[in-house]
Amino acid sequence: MTLSVKLTPEAKRTKIYSLVCLLIMLIGSVGLDQVSKFHAQEELMRWSHETDLTQYQGQRVPLYAFGDPIGAPDQFYLAFATNYVRNLGAAWGALSNLPNHIRVPFFYSVTVLAVIIIGVYMRATPAHHRFAVFALGLILSGALGNFLDRVQHGFVIDFIDVRWNILGWRYDFPNFNVADSAITVGVMILTFDMLVLETLRRKAGDSYGLQEE
């Protein structure tokens, strides 16, 4: 006698619903990222060299500020702005100084590998683990959004500018974009799912949606 496991009808409906929601989220997240970058390119870029991607001039537009940027060291300060920046490398411009014949195929390969790995994890993640699926979807959408930039322009467009002074800690955070935000939030949610929710699921005995034959 052998036992086989299959999804219950309820679990099948949950899986289909999760896939549809995931697709909508991916399209929406990547779409928002690309539209915002297009707007930044059109409104904030003032000049660009025809062939040298590192030679350009962008514009910084303040949006909101609380406090005085040149006030006392312990005075709280927080500012948001849009600022056109080209990132030829990874996060915070890492590896941006690599020669083009190395940099371009390297980042293409890394992105394709990352997408494959995320896809494998998503396929292996049960549909009812909604936090994990949502987190992986955010990470995937961020990777795809920045990948589209590299294909279209040869660089990633960053335009969100955040600066602060908190208890004497003055810092100009590296410019980022919607895709970077999606990846960051996705990693945070996935970490919470792995450290907290997975522990709770194991204690409860997670066998949702499975039945024996």
Active site residues: 158, 180
Take residue 166 and report the two structure tokens written for it: 């908190």
In a 13 Å sphere around the CA of 39, the CA atoms on its Cβ side amount to 11
CB 160 within 8 A of CB 108: no
- Tell me the C-alpha distance between 80 and 164, whole Å: 9
CB 68 within 8 A of CB 212: no
Take residue 109 and report the two structure tokens written for it: 């390969």
Question: 87 forms bridges with which residues in the sheet?
Answer: 156
Determine the angle formed by the axes of helices 178-192 and 9-44, rounding to 10 degrees: 150
**Residue 181 gets which letter from DSSP?**
H
Q: No. of H helices and E strands in the chain?
A: 5, 8
